[in-house]
Amino acid sequence: MTVIITATELAHELTGVNPPVLLDVRWQLSVAKAAGAPAFDGRAEYANGHIPGAVFVDLDRELAATPGATGRHPLPDLAEFGAVMRRAGVSAGRPVVVYDGGQGWAAARAWWLLRWTGHPDVRVLDGGLPSWEGELSTQPSDQAEGDFVPAPAAAGLLDADGAAALARTGVLLDARAGERYRGEVEPIDRVGGHIPGAVSAPTTENVGPDGRFLPPVELKDRFKALGVSEDTEVGVYCGSGVSGAHEVLALAVAGIPAALYVGSWSEWSADPSRPVAVGADPQ
């Protein structure tokens, strides 16, 4: 299954008989508020220039529910998510390509949600908007109403108990930075550390300096070194189910299916009754 697309391939497909729906999901985890600076505004970035035909999708408001006990980016209400996707022109019989500002995390969140809810053909623009060499548009893109209706899969999603169990029976990858995994720093959540048994696997190590994914064989070797074999059940978590989606995407590039714990550390660490491990040792 192809899960990423190059800018050259996208430019070609946009001129075809069944061009993909384009979703612009520019977003970034902003610490600007603490410094007194304006928060990142993806919608403003979209208005300043986007790939022609792309529709903006707001990660915080449309790809996640209100933050709470289940994390900072809980699953969105599926009926509302479906309505957002249909307004963006998403249909089951038309391919979808998602891009962001280059980090890939937000695009991967949209990719994962669409795949988990049953869309058969979703890809992420490798390298995001910086890889696009064509013209940009400042005009809003109105698409004809799509027909996509979310139908969540039974597999591919972990809750807290499922993540804890998988850390014992399979491989649970922690996609956050190593220092957060070890508990040396924790800039956002209640406490630092990791789910006992989870393996540190920063998602930033899945890409090259240009933000594009490493070749599939290199990704496969990386995950093999982390304990992932052909018959291993794999799960991923991060801080709030965004960068973890990027790691699930990297695993898919390598041909390895994986589930996502959407609540991630923001949900796990909010419950004082759940165990927390610190240091480099998974346990």
Catalytic residue list: 238
Q: Return the SS3 of 102.
A: coil
Alpha-carbon distance 50 to 159, whole Å? Answer: 35
Q: Which of 39, 41, 19 is nearest to 31 (CA)?
A: 39
CA distances (Å), origin 41, targets 87, 107, 172: 21, 16, 33
Backbone angles phi, psi at 55, to 5 degrees: -110, 135
Task: Tell me which DSSP letter residue 205 carries.
Answer: G
Q: Return the SS3 of 50.
A: strand
Alpha-carbon distance 207 to 204, whole Å? Answer: 6
Alpha-carbon distance 253 to 3, whole Å? Answer: 7
If one counts every other C-beta atom within 10 angstroms of the C-beta of residue 283, the result is 9
Helix (H) or strand (E) holding 157: strand 157-158
Contact 100, 129 (CB under 8 A): yes
Contact 270, 69 (CB under 8 A): yes
Contact 172, 197 (CB under 8 A): yes
H-only helix segments in 147-242: 160-169, 178-182, 216-225
